[in-house]
Structures are given as C-alpha cells and as structure tokens.
Structure 1
Amino acid sequence: MNTLALGFDRTALELRMYSREKEAVFFSFLFPILLLSLFSVIFSSQFDDPGGMTAGQYFLPGMVAAGVVLTSFQTMALSVATERDDGTLKRLRSTPMPPVAYFLGKVGLVAVSSVTQMVLLLVVARLAFGVELPTSPDRWAVFAAVFLLGLVGGTVLGVAYSSLSTARSIGAVVIGPMLVLQFISGVYIGWDSVPGWLQQVAAVFPLKWIAQGMRSVFFPDGMASTEMAGSWETGRTLLVLAAWAVGGLVLCTRTFRWSKRGTV
C-alpha cells in the first residue's frame, strides 16, 4: 500500500511537471485535437455528400491513433531520456522511494493524459463537427481494447526507446520517425492512398494497427474493403498490439538504465 500511495503521489507530480512543459503539452496532447479541427474545416467541401461520411468522421480514427502514440510513446521517450541525462533518475534511485513508484507515476501520467485527450477529441468531433459516434457496445469494446493495448505498448516501447539517444538529440530521434509513420499509417491521409509497398512497411509497426482498429470503430462496415486484407481484421489487430506490448515490456526491462552511459 505504501508503494501504491507513493505511485499516486508520483503521478500527481508527473502531471504537474508535464503541464508546465508547454511544448510537450502542445505536440503530444493538443496537436491531434488541433489537426482534427483543421482537417475537418479544410476538407469539409470534399465530404458534402448528404448521408455520407463527414470530414470529421474520416479523420477522427487517425487522430485518435496519433493521440494514443503521442501521449504514450513520444511522452515517455522524451521525458525518460531527459530525466536520465540531467541526473534525475540517478538521484531518485538513491532515495528510499521504491523504483516501482517511479514507473507507476509514469503510467499514471500516460493514463490520465491519454484518457483526457481522448475525451476531448470525441467531444470536439461530436459537438463541433457533428460526428456520429458508435452506438454498438461491440464497437466500443474494440475501441477500449485497441486503446488500452496501444497505450501499454506505446508506454513500454517509449521507455525502451529512450535509451537510444541523449536528451539533446532524442527529440529528432523520436519526432522524425514518428512523422513518417503517421503519414504511411493512414493517420493524415487515407489508407487506400498509401502505396502498397509503404503499407507493408507501416504494417510492421503498431501505429498502423491502432489506426486500423480505430477505423473499424468509427467507419461504416463498407469501408473495410479499403484495408489491406479487405476486412477489419479485429482479432489480428489485437494480437499484433498485444505482441508489441509484451515485446516492448521485455525490451524495457532489458534496456532501462538509471544513469546515462559512461556513469555509474
């Protein structure tokens, strides 16, 4: 119970520190909401078929997928690398605080920020752009499963990825590949507009599967024909995301360091 209480205290501290980092809040928390708003306005004239999909509905799954990855993977990779290099992790390791409490704080940060962002995304989509949200419990079950597995995988992979670089260069190491993956995974452009060979590349990484899972939730069933396999592949999507979560956890436990390279 003491460790759990410390984990809650650490979560509160992480949230306060996160809220003070304006760049991190914008690019990981507000960015998907802003893009959904921009795309819904800019491309509204291309979705003017009465009874058809709106621009907001078309871009919502991609923004949801991007939000999951940005608030988990990107946040963890940047923050852990920074804390390792500035000596924060080393100082924390020398305190009586159990190491588990530190990770509980990070998990709490990701959980609170991700859920809050997701609620805001759905509220903006529904109230500002008239997006009809699913009414089927089955679709919301898929949403919850994809969302949870995406968060778990993104969090542990972000912690593991933080070991690849220093605080000075981690931004470029994270943001550059993330931008490329977002474009080829059907986040900013239609999945059926991505060349086949790039679809194969995107299928190696979890973002493509998160986006596909979210499309199965918010798109009409007829849109499944535009996917690589001609169907939503819900079972395969959950299996791939679960495999990434387990693999990320293994990588995290094997690569995590409390101090930067060259120090004890």
Structure 2
Amino acid sequence: MTTANPATATATTAPAPASARKAVLRSETRLFLREPGALFWIVVFPTALLTILGLIPSFREHTDDLGGRRVIDLYVPVAVLLAMIMSGLQAMPPVLTGYRERGILRRMSTTPVRPSALLTAQIALHGAAALGSAALAMAVGRVAFGVELPGQPVAYVLALLLSTASVLTLGALLCALSRTTKAAAAISSVVNLLMMFTAGVWIPVQSMPDTLRDIVRFTPFGAASEALDRAASGSWPGFTQLGVMALWTALVTLLATRLFRWE
C-alpha cells in the first residue's frame, strides 16, 4: 500500500518530540489520502454494499421474525462494523508490516521520534477513517431507506468506540505476528473473512441459529453487532456485549504489546 518513507518527515533536526510527532501525523495523513484503494474499501465499500442490499425489495419489508423490523435495519450496524474491519484488519497491517520490513522503523529509532509515533499515527488515521465511514453508512441508511437513527445515542457511541478499539488492537496484533507484507496480507485475509462472518455481513447475527448465535456473541464483532443493534433499537446494550468487547480489547492489547517488534 504505502511506499513512501515517512522518515523523511522527521529528520534528526526535529526541534522537539511533540513537533516531530505532529510532522509524522501530517506526513502519514498525506500518504494515507493518496491511497485510493484503501479509502475505497474503508469509506466507500461498506456504504455501497448497504445501498445494494437496500435496493432489494424484500429487505425493505417489515417481518415478524425480526420483531417487526426490516433486514435493512439490521444491516446498518453491519455496514458500520464492516468499515472497521476493512480499516483495522485489511488496510493497516500491510502498511505497518511494510514499514518494518523495509527498515523504516529501525531508521526512525535514530531520530528524535520513536517508532511508536508512527504506530500511533496509523492507528489514529485508520480509526478516524472507520468512524467517518460509519457516519456515512448511518446517513445513507437514514436518508435513502428510512432507517431510524440510534434510539440510545450515548450507548451507540460507546459501543462504536469499543468496537473500534477492539479492531485496531487486533490489527496491531496481526502486525506483530506478521514478519513480511505477504504474510500480513495472507493472515489478514483469513481473519478478515472470519470477523466479517461474526459481524453478520452474510447473515445478520440476530438471524443466526440459536447455537451459532450464542457462540458468535463471545467474539468481538458478534458482541459489537448485538450492542449496536440494541442501541439502535433504543435499548442499552447488555453488560455481556460491552464486557466481551472490553475484554477482547484488553487481552489483544496485552498480546500485541508483548509480541510487537520494531525490527
């Protein structure tokens, strides 16, 4: 994905670590915005998929099996999670692994900016892109298909932030486990498909058989899907959904911190 050397933005003459970190963030932002492929999959694809599904007449019909709701109502939270999956699991790992593979992180260690500044910038950029894509999906769902806005906005934001944290830490763990960009792409693809299933991209979690749904609920995106759906319906998410996301985030953060290597 990104091929430019971010170390050029942080020369050894950087006046102060804080200023240099800002320079890294500005440099990485410019590089990130020059990647149309990553922007398409993160920002455009989830809303495009939502639009295609919304054009299916049966998906806009209220059904008793879903408690009087429509299938398209369930797919707005799914599109939100899909944006996060694309950002944290598909786009971010190859970038950071590529930086490490080409020795960029090692060279940065000789400058006033530590390599952690680059990691922080990448997490911030991909997190912001995922949240922006989530807002776009919700807006299109509301305007184009009459999907109600979240009945519990505070709970929705909380679930959104927890799910964003879980996917970004999982992406960092994939970076830690992958030694080359090819390995990162291969591992990310497998994990990406698994997380898309648990998020309900192909079958909404609420429509899964009871046994399968009970298993999926204990995955980060299965819990996130149910938490977002409950908040959208006007109910506060259960402590189980929020706790599962928080626990996954804490455990994966610990693993990523212990396993991550700059070289």
TM range (shorter): 0.7 to 0.9
- How much does 1:27 deviate? 2.3
Asked if 1:102 corresponds to 2:115, the answer is no
Q: TM-score, normalised by structure 2?
A: 0.81
**1:207 aligned partner, one-letter code:** F
Q: 1:227: which partner in 2?
A: none
- How much does 1:154 deviate? 1.7
**1:56 aligned partner, one-letter code:** I
Q: Tell me if the contact between 2:177 and 2:259 (Cα under 8 Å) persists in the aligned partners.
A: no
Q: Secondary structure at the match of 1:168?
A: helix
User: How much identity, in percent, do the aligned residues show?
Assistant: 26
C-alpha RMSD of the superposition: 2.6
Tell me which of 14, 19, 22 is aligned to 2:33.
Answer: 19
- Cα distance change on mapping 1:192 and 1:144 into 2, 3 Å: closer
Q: Tell me if the contact between 1:61 and 1:211 (Cα under 8 Å) persists in the aligned partners.
A: yes
Asked if 1:47 corresponds to 2:60, the answer is yes
Measure, in 2, the Cα distance between the counterparts of 1:46 and 1:187.
14
Q: Secondary structure at the match of 2:181?
A: coil
Measure, in 1, the Cα distance between the counterparts of 2:153 and 2:216.
25
- Cα distance change on mapping 1:9 and 1:18 into 2, 3 Å: same
Q: Secondary structure at the match of 1:169?
A: helix
Deviations 1:4-35 (A, max 9, x none): 44333322322222222232222233221111
Q: Secondary structure at the match of 1:9?
A: helix
Q: Tell me if the contact between 2:176 and 2:259 (Cα under 8 Å) persists in the aligned partners.
A: yes
**1:213 aligned partner, one-letter code:** A
Gaps of 5+ in 1: 222-231, 260-264
Q: Tell me if the contact between 1:73 and 1:158 (Cα under 8 Å) persists in the aligned partners.
A: yes
Measure, in 1, the Cα distance between the counterparts of 2:71 and 2:255.
39
Any residues of structure 2 matched to 1:112-191 within 5 Å, and which?
112-134=128-150, 136=151, 139-165=152-178, 166-191=180-205
**1:144 aligned partner, one-letter code:** V
Measure, in 2, the Cα distance between the counterparts of 1:214 and 1:99.
34
Count residues with an aligned counterpart: 245
- Cα distance change on mapping 1:4 and 1:120 into 2, 3 Å: farther
Any residues of structure 2 matched to 1:1-264 within 5 Å, and which?
2-42=16-56, 44-49=57-62, 52-134=68-150, 136=151, 139-165=152-178, 166-219=180-233, 234-259=238-263
